[in-house]
Structure 1
Amino acid sequence: MSSLKYLVGYPEPVLEQVRALIAAGKLEAHLRERYGEAHAVRNDRALYDYTVEMKNRWMRTAPPLAKVAYDNHLHVVQQALGTHTSVSRVQGGRLKASREIRIATVFRDAPAEFLRMIVVHELAHLKHREHDKAFYQLCTHMAGDYHQLEFDTRLYLTQLSLAGQG
């Protein structure tokens, strides 16, 4: 079923439960009941402050962030919910790295927990480039319910896709 493109790799019994929610027209209500309304992080400055506050709480020794912004050009269809980049520039005789995080604009209207999951994910990339065991350990350290939030974010994206918004 192409409507479950965000849930590829999950076990068939889980996918059957999701299909049953979709068939009954209850997926949106399930997510709304569990996560409520959107967050208040509406602009790039608020997103930067939110992300830096989380970075300072969980990753004090990580390098500073130069920019954090919502990005209209990130297409969730290509599995990019957010990106992290490190741009190196030569300044005088030194090499300086500037780190940026960009979050897909679809998360501007998402529940707060989903934005938190995306920010945690991108912050973890400051320390671990690959999605390996250490990466996911850091994610669950910053957000104990990370794996559940990741799954529910995928459900949210599935709902948006079914509604023609994703």
Structure 2
Amino acid sequence: MTYSKTNPNQLKYLSSYTLEIQNNIRTMVEQDTLGSFLLKKHPKTHDINNDKMLREYVMNLKNTHLRKSSPLSKVIYDKKIHVVNNALGLHTFISRVQGSKLKSKNEIRISEIFKTAPEAFLEMIVVHELAHIRIKPHDKAFYQLCQYMLPDYHQLEFEMRVYLTQLELKGDIY
């Protein structure tokens, strides 16, 4: 994909940020410095590259911050989840009737994009999905819980959106 200043969708991951921020990122894309900016902030990726390791990682965060919350039945990387679908991770809550009881299961699915991303971005998306166990809508309480679990949550969300922009416009940097 080639970059074009006239295409308003070029910075779709940053559309909710100020025009000044978007212009700064646009300039970095044009000067081909966005990748080096990201590498300076996040010089390496993580080694959490399979579902078993991801489950251990998620459970560690869950047990640290949300010990008394509902259990997780499944944690996986999902190749079907992609930013095109406007999702990077999914938290699903499934209720089933089994006999006379209602059984519920919580599942977290993380986009495979995060297999090769910096750990800070993986942590940010995991925290986001874990917060959905307690709070379903994206409201003030939800984001307060995200910040409780990860104090620099909002900064990391911004940097992850910059990373997605880099991936889409210029390709991977790692």
The TM-score with structure 1 as length reference comes to 0.96
Letter in 2 for 1:118: I
1:132 is the counterpart of 2:166: no
Residue 88 (structure 1) aligns with? 95
Residue 72 (structure 1) aligns with? 79
Residue 147 (structure 1) aligns with? 154
1:106 is the counterpart of 2:113: yes
* Structure 2 Cα separation of the partners of residues 114 and 50 of structure 1: 13
Structure 1 segments of 4 or more deviating over 4 A?
none
Identity %: 48
Q: What pairs up with 1:114-125 in 2 under 5 angstroms? A: 114-125=121-132
For the residue of structure 2 that corresponds to 1:144, the secondary structure is coil
Residue 34 (structure 2) aligns with? 27
- The CA RMSD over aligned residues, in Å, is 1.0
Letter in 1 for 2:17: Y
* Structure 1 Cα separation of the partners of residues 17 and 68 of structure 2: 35
Q: Which runs of 5+ in 1 are unaligned?
A: none
Count of aligned positions: 165
* Structure 2 Cα separation of the partners of residues 149 and 128 of structure 1: 20
Q: Which runs of 5+ in 2 are unaligned?
A: 1-7
* Structure 1 Cα separation of the partners of residues 15 and 69 of structure 2: 32
The TM-score with structure 2 as length reference comes to 0.92
